[in-house]
Amino acid sequence: MSGSQLLKDKVVVVTGAGRGIGRGIALLMGAEGASVVVNDLGGSSSGEGHDAGPAEEVVREIRDKGGKAIASTESVADWASANVIIDKTISTYGRIDCVVNNAGIVRDRIFHKMSPEEFDAVLKVHLYGAFYISRAASTHMKSQQSGSMIHMTSSTGLIGNLGQANYAAAKLGIVALSKSIALDMVRFNVRSNVVSPSGWTRMTSGVPTDRPEMKALIEKAKKGMPPEKVAPLTCFLAGDAAKDVTGQIFAVRGNELFLYNQTRPIRTIHRSEGWTPQSVAEHMLPAFEPSFTPLDVINDVFSWDPI
């Protein structure tokens, strides 16, 4: 087995680990000495279908390199099946040291055409799934007095993107969920962080390429942001080297690592006699307007090519 064995004797659950970013994380964690529960429903990028093949293939790859792994094909979007995933982990390995909430689907649609079903389906997998898996693992981590939870957020939620209101709401919700877990569980030596990954996967392959500039952008993304690039930071956060790291928002973009700021007041204005709608318009607006956040999308903020 290769690797530095950073995660020797650790037991990890990686959801959505059959392909893309999750696969890269599971393979590296296995190489670093972890016993890996490779969870993947095996559905399409929009959530339909069920295929045990992807999870079993990743398990074979880990074992062929001398690692330890088992497959799990239960859905994270259901409380009972999420508990099955964690129970299977405990019954097989006797403990759980890390969960990586990576499973996800997309149902992209411009907002005024998005159906309640499309909104609900995405939240169930991303936000509810992260809660279900983390909550099921939390009692075991509390008893162990140790553990790490790592949740995948997205620049769609942190910054903004077109046609992804469901995905953005879920991914920004995960940031708040992670912070709450970090606050509640720090007394039990359990950590929680989020990672915003950038990688060319089947979930991003549906981006339209009808315009030449979009086609060129996608080719750069394929070359500069392979999904395996997300794995090293995630493995670090799972291990003891990150024992003091919790409640943070990280990002990976090719060979670049980022630390995001978190929402805090940036301007204040006071009026001793209180406010009326008119005084808000006359005094607050001109004071605050220069500091308004522009209506950016991801490419406005990350305006350079992946490094």
167 catalytic per annotation:
yes
Distances from the Cα of 6 to the Cα of 227, 241, 294, angstroms: 21, 8, 41
- Check if the beta carbon of residue 41 is closer than 8 Å to that of residue 73: yes
Distances from the Cα of 41 to the Cα of 53, 73, 267, angstroms: 9, 5, 46
- How many angstroms separate the first and last alpha carbons of the chain? 29
Distances from the Cα of 186 to the Cα of 98, 148, 152, 241, angstroms: 15, 10, 20, 16
Nearest to 184 by CA among 192, 174, 173, 193: 192
> Could you say which of 93, 128, 132, 167 is catalytic?
167
Nearest to 245 by CA among 130, 132, 150, 168: 150
Give the chain's radius of gyration (CA, Å). 21
Nearest to 55 by CA among 78, 84, 75: 75
Residues forming a β-bridge with 302:
none
Determine which helix (DSSP H) or strand (DSSP E) holds 188, and give its type and residue range: none
**What is the number of helices (H) and of strands (E) in the chain?**
12, 8
**How many other C-beta atoms lie within 10 A of the C-beta of residue 95?**
16
Active site residues: 167
